Amino acid sequence: MRLNKFISETGASSRREADQWIAAGRVTVNGRRAELGTQVGEGDHVEVDGKAVGAAKKHVYLALNKPVGITCTTERHIAGNIVDFIHHRERIFPVGRLDKDSDGLILLTNNGDIVNEILRAENGHEKEYVVSVDRPVTNDFLFGMAHGVDILGMRTQPCRVRRIGRNAFGIVLTQGLNRQIRRMCAVFGYNVRRLQRIRIINVRLGDLPIGKWRELRPDELQGLLPDRQDW
């Protein structure tokens, strides 16, 4: 891990401040003056102005089966916010959003560096949902949903849609427009009764009970962040 990242993750400073400290000769690693770009590993002893800097915080990656009624915000004054709901010992935040009226998979972490990589639209990351609606799903509806719908002043990207019941369908999106599925359904005169997210990229909801969370497995992290080794 780069030294500036290590220092910032202990909470002592930002990366920019850490670089300034290193450039000014205030940082040592194992008793030797550090340089910009210095790498540190487990067991290395880092000091700033002669005082030891604690170990970097362990990154936390969670999968939550969010219930309806919980809001994906870190603003603690909002009743039903996701941070208070989980009540984790670390300061974590959601990766993206899932509507208050929807349930299912949401990821949370304390590693701000990876959020944009997961959410960046051009990466085309898939999110899969199961949707129940108020009337029978028709072939025309499925075709229209799959080939793009005009909402919010734009046309949605083509997506995969399949019938899974008389009044239910599955949909895989690579976009994340505000209340996208509900708005798309409304164009065809359908009202959503339940919207559940069951997958984000390679992480699946599986049999995780509603309202419960678990830590992501190493293989799930590798699938989410294949080009990173510092998760």
Q: What is the pLDDT of residues 176-211, one digit of tens each?
A: 899 999 999 999 999 999 999 999 999 999 999 999
In 3D, which of 125, 139, 66, 123 has the Cα closest to residue 98?
66
In 3D, which of 189, 186, 190, 184 has the Cα closest to residue 167?
190
Let me know if 230 is a catalytic residue.
Answer: no
Q: For the domain bounded by 3-52, which CATH number is listed?
A: 3.10.290.10
3-52 shares its CATH topology with 126-200: no
- The ranges assigned to domains in the chain are 3-52, 61-119+210-224, 126-200
Burial of 206 per CB tally in 10 Å (0-12, 13-18, 19+): exposed
Other C-beta atoms closer than 10 Å to the C-beta of 179 total 16
CB 203 within 8 A of CB 105: yes
Integer angstrom CA distances of residue 112 from 109, 174, 210, 223: 7, 21, 26, 18
Q: What is the pLDDT of residues 69-116, one digit of tens each?
A: 999 998 999 999 999 999 998 888 899 899 999 999 999 998 877 777
Q: Is the overall model pTM greater than 0.75, yes or no? A: yes
Q: If DSSP codes are grouped into helix, strand and coil, which group holds residue 17? A: helix
Banded model confidence at residue 135, pLDDT cuts 50, 70, 90: very high
Q: For the domain bounded by 126-200, which CATH number is listed?
A: 3.30.70.1560
In 3D, which of 65, 94, 96, 90 has the Cα closest to residue 82?
94
Other C-beta atoms closer than 10 Å to the C-beta of 54 total 11
- CA separation for the pair 101, 195 (Å, rounded): 8
Mean pLDDT is highest, among 56-70, 107-121, 142-156, 211-225, for 142-156
Q: Are strands 103-109 and 93-95 parallel, antiparallel or unpaired?
A: antiparallel
Distance separating the N- and C-terminal Cα atoms of the chain = 10
CATH architecture of 61-119+210-224: 2-Layer Sandwich (3.30)
Catalytic: which of 44, 99, 140, 207? 99
